Structure 1
Amino acid sequence: MSPVAVSSVAEWTRACSGAFVPLRVHTAAPAFRASLAQVRLGPSVTVTRVTSEALTVFRDVDLIRSQPRDDVLISLHRRGRGMIRQHGRSAVLGCGSAVMYDAASPYALSFPGTMSEVVLQLPRRTLTSTGHTFAGLTAVELPDSAQLRALTMLAASVEQPAGDEAEAIGEALVGLLRAVVRAHDNAPPPAEPRLLAEGIRLWIGEHASDPELTPERVAAHFHIAVRTLQKLFAAEGESPAAFIRGCRLRRSRTLLVGGASVNEAARRSGYLDLDSFTRAFKREFGHTPSSVRALGA
């Protein structure tokens, strides 16, 4: 994309929507000025230099529904102040900070004054292949690391490479971003991890009967990475999946003892497949569900 300079919000809305994903723009600046220059690095990775006056850019539910996208964007902030809001959290943007956001969920970026940044954009699949939960990664400042510094330097230095060189640079940026995300996942759990783990266990106990409850959904609810969730449970010698399964089976046993049918106990404890329920129950308790119901114990 050739460099674009604009002097109105309408022009900036069109420019941003074309360069990134469909967006809405608002500004109170009386004389708005902004510009962007984008470099495409292969078929799906772009780096865009952005400067603007004060403004707010947002992507809402209506835009997501009408024009869905699966892109992940990373703001590498260079000048000015700003804030990104997504998934109920806010992250402050300052010189040198880096924050990720996800085009598949509503977000807003606000800048109170003149700003400049470099935005790396790539498909979600480049990161989801390693099992990351984006609700735990977005609107959170990425921790400083050698990988993040290398990513920022490379993205900021990109000019207009051609052919194989462009794709090679794009692949290098993707590799560095994956390393940054792994560093985020390997960071120590939040303060008081035992209290956090206990809160998560209580929440799982209340929601285990939902057949769609998975470790990924638990991590997303608590805004942490799946690997962080696994570490919290590993400290007690178990896994999140095993804990969910145990909650369901204990609930099913209580229902059976109380006179519920095997089908009802399975359904009300979160099992959609009766055979799977029966096998899991027997492994856990050493008896079939029907025998426990018959004995009432």
Structure 2
Amino acid sequence: MSDLGPSGRTRVPQRPARTGQGGLVLDHFDDREPTFTPALAQAAKNLADARLADADLSPATIAAHLHVSLRTLQRVFASLDESFSAYIRHRRLEEAATALPAPDSRLNVSEAAARWHFTDSSHFLHAFKKQYQATPAQFARRPT
């Protein structure tokens, strides 16, 4: 048959594929394959949305959870309108904007910045004003 000895003819067992959100097989992900890019991006967004209040939420933690490299996750989001870090910041600001005018949770700027894990209140104010063209206080006073 062949010149291989018994150990050479033994079949090497393959590692079972792990799946992430939505059953996406991630062990052999090819980020150049355009059909997988939207699925990986959506899986990352879903995980981030579920963990927005977590202090340890970062592109690196999501990449590790999905069993892909951070660089792979960055390449996937490079084809979209914003980076993954920008997506997280955008979603946290949306959550803050929802909470600010709520009558039962009148957060001040420092509390909102801390709750949504911005480095400080001035960073939060700047990001909020850039996204909503209003300060958090102005936004909270807007009629609904």
TM-score with structure 1 length normalisation?
Answer: 0.36
User: Relative to 1, partners in 2 of residues 1:79 and 1:188: Cα closer, same or farther, differing over 3 Å?
Assistant: farther
Instruction: Give the deviation of 1:220 after TM superposition.
Output: 0.8
User: Relative to 1, partners in 2 of residues 1:81 and 1:207: Cα closer, same or farther, differing over 3 Å?
Assistant: same
Q: Which whole-Å CA distance do the structure 2 matches of 1:275 and 1:228 have between them?
A: 32
Identity %: 31
Q: Which whole-Å CA distance do the structure 1 matches of 2:121 and 2:45 have between them?
A: 25
Instruction: Give the deviation of 1:245 after TM superposition.
Output: 0.5
- Pairing 1:222–2:83 present: no
Higher percent of residues as helix: 2
2:54 partner amino acid: D
1:229 partner amino acid: L
Match of 1:235?
A: 79
Q: Which whole-Å CA distance do the structure 2 matches of 1:220 and 1:189 have between them?
A: 20
Instruction: Give the deviation of 1:246 after TM superposition.
Output: 0.2
Greater C-alpha Rg = 1
Match of 2:107?
A: 261
SS at the partner of 1:91?
Answer: coil
Q: Over the residues paired in the alignment, what is the CA RMSD in angstroms? A: 2.9
Higher percent of residues as strand: 1
Match of 1:248?
A: 92
- Pairing 1:276–2:123 present: yes
Q: Which whole-Å CA distance do the structure 1 matches of 2:9 and 2:35 have between them?
A: 31
1:221 partner amino acid: H
Deviations 1:157-189 (A, max 9, x none): xxxxxxxxxxxxxxxxxxxxxxxxxxx9x8525
Instruction: Give the deviation of 1:202 after TM superposition.
Output: 1.7
User: Relative to 1, partners in 2 of residues 1:285 and 1:243: Cα closer, same or farther, differing over 3 Å?
Assistant: same
- Pairing 1:196–2:40 present: yes
Deviations 1:208-261 (A, max 9, x none): 222321111111111111121122222222110110110000000000021421
| Larger relative contact order (CA 8 Å, sep ≥ 6) | 2
Q: For structure 1, list consecutive stretches of 5 or more residues without a partner in the other structure.
A: 1-77, 84-89, 93-139, 142-183
Mapping of residues 1-297 of structure 1, within 5 Å: 91=15, 188=32, 192-259=36-103, 260-262=106-108, 263-295=110-142
Query: Residues 211 and 271 of structure 1 are in contact (CA less than 8 Å); yes or no, is this contact kept in structure 2?
Result: no
Query: Residues 252 and 265 of structure 1 are in contact (CA less than 8 Å); yes or no, is this contact kept in structure 2?
Result: yes
Aligned residues: 124
